[in-house]
Amino acid sequence: MTAPVFDDHPGPARYPYPAPIDTYGNGGFRFAGMSHRGSILCLPSGIHAWAPTDASVVAAGDLAAVIVEAQNIELLLLGTGQSLVMPSPEIRAALQAAGIGFEPMSTGAAARTYNILLGERRRVAAALIAVA
């Protein structure tokens, strides 16, 4: 039996609960018995499809869903792809204004750190750029 494919559902892809990331790579992620091709936002409200494919062009507007849930997030892990890409001053200012701490790192490091902090029941979120 094959796992359901996350991005075959109509409308924006979304899993309605926080879940650890089982695997990443090949342009997507596996979590909660599902797979998703593309980048994702892991928020307290669940896992959402996320449009950015290149961390160097991510803007504060791309993190609007994170800002909406700011009261439930103490730390955002920003997975920037294969290597670390520092976020723009605009992103840093938007997250700081919302009271959200953040750590940019490679997507692999961000996924692993997210799983650990989620397991500790920390108020964590992750914005993860898919990697090949």
Residues 66-111 have pLDDT tens digits of 999 999 999 999 999 999 999 999 999 999 999 999 999 999 999 9
Edge-to-edge order in the sheet of strand 39-43? 14-15, 46-50, 39-43, 124-128, 75-79, 101-105
Give the chain's domain count: 1
Identify whether 120 is part of a domain: yes
Whether 35 maps to a domain, the answer reads yes
Q: Residue 35: helix, strand or coil by DSSP?
A: strand
pLDDT at residue number 7: 42
H or E element, residue 39: strand 39-43
Enclosing domain of residue 113: 6-128
Q: Is residue 1 assigned to a domain?
A: no
* CB contact set of 8 (below 8 Å; sequence gap of 6+): none
Whether residue 19 is contained in a domain is answered as yes
Torsion 45-6-111-121 (CA) sign: positive
Task: Assign residue 18 the CATH number of its domain.
Answer: 3.40.1230.10
Q: Is residue 18 part of a domain?
A: yes
Average the pLDDT over each of 10-14, 36-40, 94-98, 110-114 and give the range with the smallest value. 10-14
Q: Is residue 17 part of a domain?
A: yes
Contact 77, 47 (CB under 8 A): no
- Which pTM does this prediction carry? 0.90
Q: Are 107 and 54 in contact (CB under 8 A)?
A: no
Residue 92 covered by a domain: yes
